[in-house]
Structure 1
Amino acid sequence: MSTCTDLIRIGYVILFWFLIKNVAALSDREKSVIQKELTTVGLQCIQQHPLSLSDIRSFRNKMIPDGKKPKCFVACLFKKIGVMDDMGMISPMKAQENAKKVFKDNEEHIKNVNEIMEKCTSVNQQNTSDGNKGCDRAKLAFNCFTDNADKYGFDFDF
């Protein structure tokens, strides 16, 4: 498997909550919108925050690697998809807006996005050392999302 393919897959893993366990419930349009956004954003962020093969392996195991680059890669993704604001804080309102655009009238998917965002917004209360960069907070949020994925019906397997 090529490194480029692995890197794109990392974007899919990190953009976690849009990959609902019941993938059959997603329409072709929903899948297309999500794939296009993830690919575009993932490639932009990987250029800004290069990852090693070891980092990629960690992400594949649903763990965020130690180090600045992996955390900042996640922060980049979160900011670009609206999960994190420019101040480095988890932003449920923007994620909810995006979920409504993607999932339109699928209330169950929208509800699940809202609930996991509400749960993981608690990381905003934790002290971090990198301010509005959001890299440290992105790691906290990533862990929250992966720890709670099953509860809200999300599947990060790839």
Structure 2
Amino acid sequence: MNGLTCFPKHEIMQGQIKDSQTTMNPSGTGELNRDIQIAKSEAEIRKWFIGLAIECNNENPITPEDMTLLHEHKIPDNENAKCLLACVYRKANWINDKGMFDIEAANAMVEKEHTDEPAKIDNSKKLFQLCKKVDDEPVTDGEKGCQRAALLTTCMTENAPKFGIPLIM
């Protein structure tokens, strides 16, 4: 993955999240394919992550202001926003049941998605290795993983450009 770092600028409208490319309902039906297939475009990966965020917003609702902050690559200072990130990472298998960054799962996902792009795979793995340090950071929410998800998001947001990786979310 090229770095789940922020949600696209969009509006929450009557139970839907709408951006300039896609409108999806919160149940994730219709346009959302729950499984990433190989060689997806950045737009398809973005759409997939938006679907995960929609599902997670049902469990961890955030405000439009929080969405705006996330779009600006800033982490809102509230538990729901951080837990929404953790939920997205869990659904993507990037945070495990112990609340830790699962670098092996992240590496496997990027290998599956970008089979014909070795440079993208290599750079993503370098980013993931750099951000693995978030597992060594002290957090107070343990297995919940919300604080670690915020740390992971910050690491990826700050470092993805150094590896030539566009910020998808």
Q: Same-fold call, TM > 0.5?
A: yes
Larger helix percent? 1
Which is worse superposed, 131-140 or 38-47?
38-47
**Change beyond 3 A, Cα 1:39–1:61:** closer
Matched, 1:129 2:140: yes
Deviation at 1:126, TM superposition (A): 0.8
Q: Structure 2-normalised TM-score?
A: 0.75
Contact 1:62 1:156 in 2 (8 A): no
Which amino acid counterpart does residue 134 of structure 2 have in structure 1?
A: V
Instruction: State the TM-score, normalized to the length of structure 1.
Output: 0.79
In the TM superposition, structure 1's runs of 4+ consecutive aligned residues that sit over 3 Å from their partners are none
1:2 equivalent to 2:15? Answer no
CA distance in 2, matches of 1:99, 1:140: 20
In the aligned structure 1, how far is the partner of 2:68 from the partner of 2:50? 19
Q: By how many angstroms is 1:44 displaced?
A: 1.0
Instruction: Encode CA deviations 1:69-124: one digit per residue, 9 max, x unaligned.
Output: 00000001111112211111011100111111111131111111101110001010
Matched, 1:38 2:23: no
Counterpart of 1:61, as a letter, is E
Q: Is the 8 A contact 1:33 1:102 kept in 2?
A: no
How is 1:71-150 mapped onto 2 (pairs within 5 angstroms)?
71-150=82-161
Contact 2:120 2:165 in 1 (8 A): no
Identity of aligned residues (%): 28
Q: Structure 2: give runs of 5+ residues left out of the alignment.
A: 1-9, 23-38
What is the deviation of 1:34?
A: 1.6
| Cα deviation 1:28-51 (Å, max 9, x = unaligned) | x51265245223312211111111
Q: Relative to 1, partners in 2 of residues 1:142 and 1:51: Cα closer, same or farther, differing over 3 Å? A: same
Please give the secondary structure, in 2, of the residue aligned with 1:149: helix
Q: How many residues align?
A: 139
Q: How does 1:42-53 map to 2 (within 5 A)?
A: 42-53=53-64
Check the 8 A contact 2:93/2:105 in 1, yes or no: yes
Q: Per the alignment, in what secondary structure is the counterpart of residue 40 of structure 1? A: helix
Does the residue aligned with 2:95 lie in a helix, a strand or coil? Answer: coil
User: Superposition RMSD on alpha carbons, in Å?
Assistant: 2.3
For residue 148 of structure 1, report the CA deviation from its aligned partner: 0.4
Residue type at the aligned position of 1:30 = K
1:60 aligns with 2:71: yes
